[in-house]
């Protein structure tokens, strides 16, 4: 497998999401869920802006892409609001497993039919078993 290096990268990203949930829950309880979401996105936007200033400008290319591809920007705030609201009530672990279940189920559908410009990857019994295992984890962890 040529892209073995990507697995530690995505595991670290997943670890970061759990830390983000742990930070957002208490922040949302203190200052309000929408304000916490705005704060997180403001910090992220500043970091991205800094990176874009020193990177090669590609804004023109972005707006030449199909508009539907930009709708993913709507999903980020929804995700962060869900983390902010759910974490204080059900904890980081249950929140992350619930999100993981949604991610895996949707990912399998996208992969199987090659939706959203993805390459088709057949859903087999192993992938279904993984989905069932995460569903069992959700049930067990609660």
How does pLDDT run across 80-100, given as a tens digit for each residue?
Answer: 999 999 999 999 999 999 999
Q: How many CB atoms lie within 10 A of CB 24?
A: 26
Least confident segment among 1-5, 7-11, 79-83, 128-132: 1-5
- Return the residue matching tokens 């959700």: 138
Residues comprising the chain, all counted: 142
Least confident segment among 64-68, 104-108, 119-123: 64-68
pLDDT band at 124, cuts 50/70/90? very high
* Cα gap 33→24, rounded to integer Å: 8
pLDDT at 1 over 70: no
State residue 66 phi and psi, 5-degree precision.
-60, 135
pLDDT at 104 over 90: yes
Quick one: which of 84, 89, 77, 101 has its CA closest to 20? 84
* pTM, two decimal places: 0.80
């Amino acid at each position: 497998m040529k892209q073995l290096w990507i697995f530690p990268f995505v595991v670290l990203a997943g670890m970061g999401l759990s830390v983000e949930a742990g930070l957002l829950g208490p922040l949302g309880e203190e200052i309000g869920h929408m304000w916490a979401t705005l704060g997180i996105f403001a910090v992220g936007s500043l970091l991205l802006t800094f990176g874009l200033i020193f990177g090669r400008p590609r804004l023109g290319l972005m707006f030449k892409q199909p508009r539907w591809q930009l709708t993913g920007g709507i999903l980020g705030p929804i995700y962060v609001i869900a983390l902010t609201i759910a974490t204080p009530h059900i904890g980081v672990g249950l929140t992350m497993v619930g999100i993981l279940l949604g991610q895996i189920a949707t990912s399998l559908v996208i992969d199987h039919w090659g939706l959203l410009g993805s390459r088709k990857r057949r859903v087999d019994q192993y992938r279904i078993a993984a989905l069932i295992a995460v569903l069992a984890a959700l049930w067990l962890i609660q």
